[in-house]
Structure 1
Amino acid sequence: MKLSAEDLAQRARQIRLVGFDVDGILTPGTLIFDEQGRETKSFHSRDGVGLKLLQQAGLTLALVTGRQSSIVTLRARELGITHVFQGVHDKRQVMDTLLSGLGLHWEQLAYMGDDLPDLSVLCRSALALTVPEAPEEIRAAAHWVAPVGGGMGAARAAATWLLQARGEWARVLERWAD
């Protein structure tokens, strides 16, 4: 969905919660199992920095995934993300409950997802974000598409874009330039 830069910036300033799907957003989406059936995932370190930047800007983060993985629990703990929902079949219901519990509304949510289980959340979010390899239906619903793929720095790119749209990027850079 196309919006003007001014409309996107206005929406960005209202965001208080940023939700992320995991597989296909924070990871490349490839499921890797060893001979014992143990799953492994790869995460891009720059995505972790991007998520920390959002937290430092005062935004609350949530991970919402259809799969169940101890690796996701570990990564969320490393990043200080407390709102982690795994094994989710209805992401819209989970986000609705989380928003309500935090005293927030859909107009205060930015969400990044890459496939049909994310569509209902993307369609309700103030800012719908995705990756270039997402199916056409997802890209059509998105307000912004990352310049790189899932697990390749897409979440970092989204964090940078969101902070720039909110007018906070210069302040973020000052912290690192000292």
Structure 2
Amino acid sequence: MKAMNNIVKTLSVITLFALTAVANAIPVSYTESAPQTAAGQVFNFEYNPILDSTGEGSLYIKARGDYSVAWPAIENLGFNIDGVFTGIAAPQYGNVINTYSYDDVLFEIEFTIGESLMDEITESLSAVLVLDLASDVNIVTANSFVEATLSYEGVSNEVPEPAILFILGAGLLGFAGIKRRR
């Protein structure tokens, strides 16, 4: 019987150690938006602090304004994250959500950021996203805006709750193992 109690106690301790795993990754999403107040405006969005990444990420851009979709007068916005991830977003390459008129276009586009580039972006623990509208992107309505979302899996700090569970479990095992003596 005593051997059986020792086996049960040992299995209980092993189970408690197995429960001490920590959360390693959490979804991270930084979103910024701003109204357009001038033609050819430049937007600077700073994400700070920023967690280290565990893999790929994505940059989602949504914009409304005077984006001509006719060739050769393609109007766009350039993007740049810390000089590491750069490119051009334009209605032709994304999804035109709604064209209110020839001069008033709402569109969205998403870019995948590779793991090595995400590591470069997050290594400084802050990131600056620059959205640079082409000079001919004018304000058509009071509703002209840009919005950008940077998303990825981030590395989290160790969570202390599993350690607390272990201490609680060890204490309960200790109480169960004590025999009353009179």
- Same fold per superposition (TM over 0.5): no
**Higher relative strand content:** 2
**Higher relative helix content:** 1
Q: Which has the higher contact order (CA 8 A, sep 6+)?
A: 2
Give the TM-score taking structure 2 as reference length: 0.28
